[in-house]
């Protein structure tokens, strides 16, 4: 199979308005992914499925990931002149990553038996602009998995034939798999709690009357 750079070059030739990025993967055995801007997601996916060299007809996995707002600290080595002597020091640069939701597609080919090509789509933010194009019209296998990402993360897939909750009950409010979801409080009876569970269980313990003993 071609490398991601070759795929990117051919995609940019065929679809000139797309914005593509290749993301590196620090794990050596893992695959690098192709980050596609949401507006051209459908067109890129259609090319990947129909192209005779790639023929990625099998969408193996659709995953939702929640990236809340965070500051990322990266250490950078810089050459600085200190009292006339050039020294290399490490500096920490802080970048603010805005919160967004991400959907990752792992694409394989059953016909040519190669793969995977990892496709990533990101939403604008986690609050009001969480729409992404649905790839269910291209790969029917993404139907239930996209419904699950909607149910648990809140990503709204435009073009999905039947977008409703799949694992939680219909009038459930909230998106449970997000990192900031607070589970309901049912810690009344915890025989051996510790750490966070102890903090929650303590709220249910009977309040001890303060004794009036004076020293």
Instruction: Please report, as ranges, the residues that interact with another protein according to CB under 8 A.
Output: 25-31, 57-61, 63, 65, 104, 106, 110-111, 113, 116, 118, 137-145, 161-162, 165-174, 176-177, 181, 183-184, 186, 188-189, 191, 197, 205-206
- 85 or 171: CB nearest another protein: 171
In the bound state with another protein, the residue whose beta carbon lies nearer, of 70 and 93, is 70
Asked if residues 79 and 88 have their Cβ atoms less than 8 Å apart, the reply is: yes
Residue 22 or 177 having the CB closest to another protein = 177
Q: Locate tokens 């071609």: which residue?
A: 2
49 contacts 67 by C-beta, under 8 angstroms: no
**Considering the complex, what minimum distance in angstroms separates the CB of residue 65 from another protein?**
5
Count the neighbouring beta carbons within 10 Å of the beta carbon of residue 155: 24
For residue 20, give the nearest of 29, 28, 31, 32 by alpha carbon. Answer: 32
DSSP 203: T
What count of other Cβ atoms lies within 10 Å of the Cβ of residue 78? 10
Residue number with CB closer to another protein (12 or 158) = 158
Ramachandran area for residue 20 (φ above 0: left; ψ -120 to 50: alpha; else beta): beta
Pick between residue 56 and residue 132 the one whose CB is nearest to another protein: 56
Q: How far is the CB of 108 from another protein (least distance, A)?
A: 9
CB 204 → another protein: shortest distance, Å?
A: 10
Rounded least distance, CB 88 to another protein, Å: 23
Quote the least distance from Cβ 196 to another protein, whole Å. Answer: 8
Tell me which H or E stretch contains 14.
Answer: helix 4-14
């Amino acid at each position: 199979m071609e490398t991601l750079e070759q795929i990117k070059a051919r995609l940019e030739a065929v679809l000139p308005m797309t914005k593509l990025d290749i993301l590196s993967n620090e794990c050596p055995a893992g695959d690098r992914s192709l980050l596609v801007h949401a507006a051209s997601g459908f067109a890129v996916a259609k090319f990947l499925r129909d192209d005779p060299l790639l023929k990625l007809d099998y969408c193996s996995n659709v995953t939702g990931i929640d990236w809340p707002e965070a500051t990322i600290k990266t250490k950078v080595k810089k050459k600085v002149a200190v009292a006339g002597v050039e020294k290399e020091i490490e500096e920490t640069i802080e970048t603010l990553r805005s919160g967004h939701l991400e959907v990752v597609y792992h694409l394989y080919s059953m016909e040519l038996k190669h793969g995977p090509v990892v496709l990533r789509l990101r939403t604008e933010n986690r609050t009001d602009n969480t729409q992404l194009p649905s790839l269910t019209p291209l790969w029917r296998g993404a139907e239930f998995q996209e419904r699950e990402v909607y149910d648990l993360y809140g990503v709204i897939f435009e073009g999905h034939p039947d977008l409703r909750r799949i694992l939680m009950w219909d009038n459930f409010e909230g998106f449970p798999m997000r990192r900031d979801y607070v589970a309901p409080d049912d810690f009344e009876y915890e025989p051996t709690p510790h750490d966070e569970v102890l903090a929650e269980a303590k709220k249910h313990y009977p309040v001890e009357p303060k004794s009036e003993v004076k020293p």
